[in-house]
Amino acid sequence: MRKLKMGMIGGGKNAFIGAIHRIAANMDGLVELHCGAFSSNPEISRESGKELFLPEEKCYATYQEMIVKESGLTAGQRMDFVTIVTPNFAHFAPAMMALDHGFHVLIDKPMTLSLDEAKQLQQKVNETGLILCLTHTYSGYPMVKQARKMVADNELGKIRKVMVEYTQGWLSSLFENEGNKQAIWRTDPAKSGISGCMGDIGTHAAQLAEYISGTKIIQMCADINIVVEGRKLDDDGNVLLKFDNGANGILVATQIATGEENGLKIKIYGEKGGLEWHQMEPNSLIIKWPDVPTQIYRTGNSYLSNNAMANTRTPSGHPEGYLEAFANLYKNFALTLSSILEGKTPSAEMLDFPSVDDGVRGMAFIENVIASGKSEQKWFDFKI
The CA distances from residue 382 to 96, 133, 298, 321, in Å, are: 26, 23, 35, 33
Pairing of strands 104-107, 132-134: parallel
d(CA 164, CA 188): 26
The CA distances from residue 270 to 12, 64, 117, in Å, are: 45, 50, 36
pLDDT of residue 15: 87
Count Cβ neighbours within 10 Å for each residue of 216-227 and write b for 16 or more, e otherwise.
ebebbbbebebb
Where exactly are the structural domains of the chain? 4-135, 141-314+361-374
pLDDT of residue 76: 86
pLDDT of residue 380: 96
Angle, CA 196 vertex, CA 141 and CA 15 arms, to 5°: 65
Angle, CA 71 vertex, CA 127 and CA 362 arms, to 5°: 45
Regions in the chain scoring below 70 on pLDDT: none
d(CA 5, CA 26): 11
d(CA 20, CA 366): 25
Q: Is the dihedral of CA 277, 281, 287, 291 positive or negative?
A: negative
**Global confidence as pTM:** 0.96
* Mean pLDDT computed over every residue of the chain: 97
CATH level 2 (architecture), domain 4-135: 3-Layer(aba) Sandwich (3.40)
Say if domain 141-314+361-374 classifies as CATH 3.30.360.10: yes
d(CA 198, CA 14): 25
> For 57-93, what is each residue's pLDDT tens digit?
999 999 999 999 999 999 889 999 999 999 999 999 9
